[in-house]
Structure 1
Amino acid sequence: MSQPTVVLLHGVGLDHTLWEPLASLLADRFTVIAPDLPGHGTRRPVRGTVTLADLADGVADEIPAGAHLVGFSLGALVAQHLALHRPERVATLTSVSSVCRRTAAERASVLARLRTAESDFTASTVASLRRWYDGTDVDPGQVARTEATLLANDLASFLACYRVFATADTELGPGLGSIAVPALAVTGGDDPGSTPEMTRRLAAALPDCRAVVVPGARHMLPVERPRELAGHLTAFLGECSHV
């Protein structure tokens, strides 16, 4: 009997290497696929206006029918779009550090970060690393690796994808109630952007979703708390397999 497939989708400016700590913990029970989103990692930079549908279409062919989707940050929005518009591909949906139906203040905050990235990409990168890692015990080598990945981005492509991240929750919001698959929403208790309130908001919007808040964790759960994330994910998938 073949192993179930878990597909991991990453966030803005990152690549599939984000998932290496988690993937190593899942590999004995699942077939793990971690495709780069369009404009990220090994994928060619995107040009012009990009939509959430474009990013989802760019990875849809790499997702086998009945896969368990796990999306982080922008990847969570892509995963939600696929669950809504390509339901035959999706057995379960896990949203890690996901935004949901931002308030006016939350929208203003992310748009301010976008403007900083547009005007001073290096300063934006430094601010992101502080927001994601300050106060954590993540190895400095991993932080440096994240920094190198961010700085290696094609700037125009990064900004195009960041605009999707900053706005696509508005597009997704009205359709969340139509996502019928079992779902899990996970974030860090100290995540300053994808806050516990957003995770609870997402869990309330989806018909069959539970919310999990990891105490003391910040934004980068796949590298900060991979073992805890793997535990929550495998427990969720194990329960779903018995339904």
Structure 2
Amino acid sequence: MTGTQETPVALLHGVGLDATMWAPVQDALGRESIAIDLPGHGQQPPLTEPVTLQEMADDVLARLPERSHLVGFSLGALIAQHIARFHPGRVKTLTCVSSVCRRTDAERSAVSARLASAEADFPATVEASIDRWYSGTAVPQSVVDATRRTLAANDVQSFVHAYRVFALGDRAIGNELSRIGVPALAITGEHDPGSTPEMTRRLAAAIPGAKAAVVPGARHMLPVQDADVLARAINEFIKDSEGERA
């Protein structure tokens, strides 16, 4: 650490979740952090009409610290990328956790099918998400059940509006990634079926100077499944970017 005022870490969650998902990571970081509810999530009012990635990013930006080490997970990563691109003075470093990037036709078809499922049968979408995120992991059942409760508590229409941004947001930011100028890290789980290691390598290749990391054995909910590993990666990346290492 230096003797100067520490730049906080700001944490943005994924679609259907809320700021509380970051608690294990915040405990492990050992530095000042703030977790923010995305529009339509947690303590924020439900989304009542379609929104864009830019609108969600602008909403989040108004509630961020003046400058932060910005960490986004899944949908939160797309929002973080937008903020880093268009408001670089507010972002000291960018960490994209379990992020999609420039989906292929097949990947777009898969997420479009999940969006249609959410509109048609939300309870089934909740269960499919839980299975996709946690199947085969050692995450305690109590934690899995807590995630299920958070998902199930969503206003369905609000969830659909947010999920549509997640489904289309990589198109909105994809052509802008090469213009992100802050230090960036892309990290995901080895077994994440949606935000795959290939996507993380795609993202790191698209952002100048970005680093890529893949956590062995992890699925999509990396901040929950391997909070200590993720926190260590974030801390090491921040120290590297600030030249704090001896």
The TM-score bracket by the shorter chain reads over 0.9
Tell me if 1:21 matches 2:24: yes
In structure 2, distance between residues paired with 1:57 and 1:43: 14
Match of 2:14 in 1: 11
- Aligned partner letter, 1:103: T
The alpha carbon displacement at 1:11 in A equals 0.3
Q: Distance in 1 between matches of 2:106 and 2:171?
A: 14
Counterpart of 2:140 in structure 1 is: 139
Output the amino acid matched with 1:186.
I
Equivalent residues, number: 241
Q: Distance in 1 between matches of 2:61 and 2:7?
A: 17
| TM-score, L = length of structure 1 | 0.97
Distance 1:240 1:211 in 2: 14
> How far did residue 25 of structure 1 move?
1.0
- Which residue matches 2:216? 215
Matches within 5 A, 1:189-228: 189-228=190-229
Unaligned runs of 5+ in 2: none
1:134 Cα offset (Å): 0.4
Any idea what SS the aligned residue of 2:214 has? strand
Deviations 1:147-201 (A, max 9, x none): 0000000111000000000001011111000000000000000000000000000
Pairing of 1:156-235 with structure 2 (within 5 A):
156-235=157-236
Equivalent residue letter for 2:127: V
Aligned counterpart, 2:154? 153
Tell me the alpha carbon deviations over residues 38-68 of structure 1, each in whole angstroms, 9 at most, x when there is no partner. 1000000011111111111111122223310
Superposition map of 1:47-196 within 5 A: 47-196=48-197
Partner of 1:241: 242
Indicate yes or no: 2:12 matched with 1:2.
Answer: no
Aligned-partner residue type, residue 75 of structure 2: L
Q: Counterpart of 1:138 in structure 2: which amino acid? A: V
Show structure 1 runs of 5+ residues with no match.
none
Counterparts of 2:27 and 2:6, CA distance in 1: 15
Q: Cα distance, 1:2 vs. partner? A: 2.4
Residue type at the aligned position of 1:231: R
1:231 Cα offset (Å): 1.0
Distance 1:239 1:40 in 2: 33
Give the aligned CA root-mean-square deviation in angstroms. 0.9
Which position in structure 2 is the counterpart of 1:33? 34
